[in-house]
Amino acid sequence: MFTAPLQFSPLLKRIRWGGRRLGTRLGKPLGPENDYAESWELVDHGQDQSRVISGPWTGRTLQELVQREAKTLLGTQAGLEQFPLLVKFLDAHDRLSVQVHPNDRQAAAAIPGERGKTEAWVILEAEPEAYVFAGLKPGVDRAALARAVETGTVEQCLHRLEVRPGDCIFIPAGTVPGWGSIARERLVAADYFTLDRLQGTGTATLPPASHSRIWIIVAGAVRWGATDGDTAGLGSTLLWAAATGPVELQWSPGTVVIEATWP
């Protein structure tokens, strides 16, 4: 039985709209460049593989664990060929491109074996009047969108949503993009995953579960052991294996964790 979460080395992605906040705010190991856009925290997608950095599985990729340690890692979710979720932090230092992600059927038709992309964004920081585009306005059909593409006016066809820290935006595929004093808030309940926001402080016991759980720490810190290495703070992503628990935890004041699970 595990008494600590799995932690992985992040994969840093440079894209023109990135910046340096993944390093200055979240402590990610950036190089000297100024265009770090994404930190892939948990990924099992072809050559992009998260690799364990601590514990008995140190050095192994997430794909290796899914294939060779499925019952211990996934419990009742064992039997998957691929870890089903991709977890990442984004630094949207500049405007992103407009995208429409396919569903599973569309993705597999284009690239055999590929999966669709349903996603959710949790806003950690936002400048005043920051916004996202999500979905087409009523009445915008294929012809209207094609004309907008030709004239460079696509933004006029899209819903514009102002965002603030703490907001959660759910983007389905096909859309244009007892714990001390702990409370649980359901953010997303979708066919592919659920997101809960856990907030609080104090000592608690992480109960056993029949499946794995992902924790993304967006404020404060969580401690599960007696050494400094047994603490994870802002910007950390933890994967609790199904064989974990019970584990005594200490939440620092004001800790906020996004918990992700899947059916």
Residue 237: is its pLDDT beyond 80? yes
Q: Answer yes or no: are the C-beta atoms of 57 and 2 closer than 8 Å.
A: no
How much is the pLDDT for 97? 75
Model confidence pLDDT, tens digit, residues 162-211: 999 999 988 887 676 645 557 899 999 999 999 999 998 899 889 999 99
**What is the token pair recorded at 208?**
């056993």
**Average confidence score pLDDT of the chain:** 90
Measured distance CA(37)–CA(91) in Å, rounded: 5
Global confidence as pTM: 0.89
Residue 21: is its pLDDT beyond 70? yes
Nearest partner of 44 among 5, 3, 81, 83, judged by Cα:
83
How much is the pLDDT for 171? 81
Query: Which residue ranges form the domains of the chain, and what is each CATH number?
Result: 8-171 (2.60.120.10), 183-261 (2.60.120.10)
Residue 146: is its pLDDT beyond 80? yes
Model confidence pLDDT, tens digit, residues 208-222: 999 999 999 999 999
Model confidence pLDDT, tens digit, residues 59-94: 999 999 999 999 999 999 999 999 999 999 999 988
**What is the token pair recorded at 172?**
């389905």
Residue 51: is its pLDDT beyond 60? yes
**What is the token pair recorded at 56?**
């008995």
Residue 113: is its pLDDT beyond 80? no
